Amino acid sequence: MRNAKWWTVAAHEFGIHVRRKGFIAATLGVPLLFAVGFGLIVLFMARGETPKGVGYIDQSGITSAQPDRVVITDTLQLDVPLIRYTDEAAARADTEAERIDGYVVIPADYLATGSLRAVSDDLPSVSKDALRTFLRRTLAANNQSAASPRLSRVITEVRSRTPDGAREATRAQGVLLFFTPYLFSMFFFIGIFTSSSYLMTALVEEKENRVMEILATSIKPFSLMAGKIFGLGLLGLTQITIWTAAAFGMFSLAKLRFPDMAGLSLPSEVVLIAVVMFIPAYLLVAASLSTIGAAVSAVQEGQQLSGIVSVLMISPVWFLTSIINNPHSVLAVFTSIFPFTAPIVMMQRVAITTVPAWQILLAWIVQVGAAIGMMWIAGRVLRFGMLRYGKRLTVRELGQALRG
């Protein structure tokens, strides 16, 4: 009987939210937005600027073997001519007339000091890159030995191995290892928080419009909460599954399209951690937000307090660099076990290093324990605060609620 009731609540919550335009738009719109946004970024990076060319005045003699006009074509097929000038006045005049973007003076002591002086009001980034490529090729060509071709690209690939040689990753695979947890973290965060904030607003709203009073006559507070958490959790899971599928689809497409990516594979251990961690993480956040929802009297207050939970969860992203540099530091180990930060940090650590099994197990147990504890607290607070209006629970009352 009791089971049936929470099931009804869950089915109801899932049913109304999954059909909402906002949910559908977010679920389908986010991947679309990502794809379009990414495409536009690439497009603008490639075609956002129209370089006219860069002039140069060589006082060091390093370019004496080069023709007077060299066209550098970058990876995105944009041509940048490099034009030799013999005196600065001519180059300045051409820059002022906007025939070239600017010019650079290579001083006589360039090889010793490395300093270059450019004059331009707005040197496009493509032109800077072209100048770099040009100088590098020139300097490599000036070297006469058999090894010269290698000098234009000294390192083409680095295969990283763990000390025991058990795992190997190319650069591209390494980048993938780095970004997969990052992407999952975003999915996680958005998915968990959409469903949890639905949960909180639903609770507060039902309190505000007195629906809660009717519900309270026929269902126990804990079943009500469990039903809501379950239904909305399923909602979040649906959303994340669709996003993951979309990301995987795009990745597979890219793999077909670019042969360079053929050797890449998604790190399965990261995906596994994500799956295992999602459910307790969601329950924890959902229960925390239910507690807040039950304790406050207005949606506005609830949102401010829930901000703290979201900040706590997203905080690992801020010191991600530190965790990556030092995946076994105290900070990294602590945040990968601390319940709110664990999912994101643990995924990151598993991706880039070998995490001892006991840490993973401990993190999971702590996570599950915290979720259960928080559910219990939420149930207590809900029972105490669900019918209180106009006034949020004080800390003392919260204490009373917990003691029962």
* Residue 160 lies near another protein (rule: CB under 8 A): yes
Give the residue among 311, 352, 306, 313 at the shortest CA–CA distance from 329.
Answer: 352
Binding region for another protein (CB under 8 A) out of 115-123, 243-251, 336-344, 359-367? 115-123
Q: Which CB atom, from 309 or from 368, has the smaller least distance to another protein?
A: 309
The gap from C-alpha 175 to its chain's centroid, in whole angstroms, comes to 13
**Which positions from 225 through 254 interact with another protein, judged by CB under 8 A?**
none
Q: Which CB atom, from 119 or from 372, has the smaller least distance to another protein?
A: 119
Nearest distance from C-beta of residue 233 to another protein, angstroms? 19
**Which positions from 269 through 308 interact with another protein, judged by CB under 8 A?**
298-301, 303-305, 307-308
Binding region for another protein (CB under 8 A) out of 47-55, 80-88, 223-231, 273-281? 47-55
Selected binder of another protein within 321, 357, 358, 403 (CB under 8 A)? 321
* Residue 125 lies near another protein (rule: CB under 8 A): yes
**359 contacts 368 by C-beta, under 8 angstroms:** no
Selected binder of another protein within 8, 66, 353, 359 (CB under 8 A)? 353
Selected binder of another protein within 11, 18, 28, 151 (CB under 8 A)? 151
Nearest distance from C-beta of residue 228 to another protein, angstroms? 14
- CB contact burial 245-281 (16+ within 10 A = b; e otherwise): ebbeeebeeeeeeeeeeeebeebebbbebbebbbebb
* Residue 369 lies near another protein (rule: CB under 8 A): no
Q: Which CB atom, from 218 or from 300, has the smaller least distance to another protein?
A: 300
Which CB contacts under 8 angstroms, 24+ apart, belong to 120-128?
Answer: 120/95, 123/54, 124/49, 124/50, 124/51, 125/49, 126/49, 126/51, 126/74, 126/78, 126/80, 127/51, 127/53, 127/54, 127/80, 127/101, 127/102
Nearest distance from C-beta of residue 116 to another protein, angstroms? 4
Q: How many CB atoms lie within 10 A of CB 396?
A: 8
Binding region for another protein (CB under 8 A) out of 76-84, 169-177, 235-243, 279-287? 169-177
Residue type for position 374: M
Q: Which CB atom, from 245 or from 308, has the smaller least distance to another protein?
A: 308
The Cα–Cα gap between 11 and 2 comes to: 14
Question: How open is the CA angle 325-326-331, to the nearest 5 degrees?
Answer: 125
**Which positions from 326 through 345 interact with another protein, judged by CB under 8 A?**
326-332
Burial class (CB in 10 A: 0-12, 13-18, 19+), 44: exposed
Selected binder of another protein within 201, 222, 238, 246 (CB under 8 A)? 201
Selected binder of another protein within 75, 77, 145, 218 (CB under 8 A)? 145
Selected binder of another protein within 1, 77, 163, 259 (CB under 8 A)? 163
* Residue 117 lies near another protein (rule: CB under 8 A): yes
Nearest distance from C-beta of residue 280 to another protein, angstroms? 24
* Residue 119 lies near another protein (rule: CB under 8 A): yes
Binding region for another protein (CB under 8 A) out of 68-76, 145-153, 276-284, 395-403? 145-153
The Cα–Cα gap between 7 and 376 comes to: 19
Q: How many CB atoms lie within 10 A of CB 86?
A: 10
| Full strand arrangement of the beta sheet holding 69-73 | 69-73, 79-84, 54-58, 102-106
* Residue 7 lies near another protein (rule: CB under 8 A): no
Burial class (CB in 10 A: 0-12, 13-18, 19+), 312: middle
The Cα–Cα gap between 310 and 316 comes to: 11
Q: How many CB atoms lie within 10 A of CB 390?
A: 7
Binding region for another protein (CB under 8 A) out of 120-128, 211-219, 269-277, 368-376? 120-128
Nearest distance from C-beta of residue 55 to another protein, angstroms? 12
Number of residues that bind another protein (CB under 8 A): 99
Nearest distance from C-beta of residue 351 to another protein, angstroms? 7
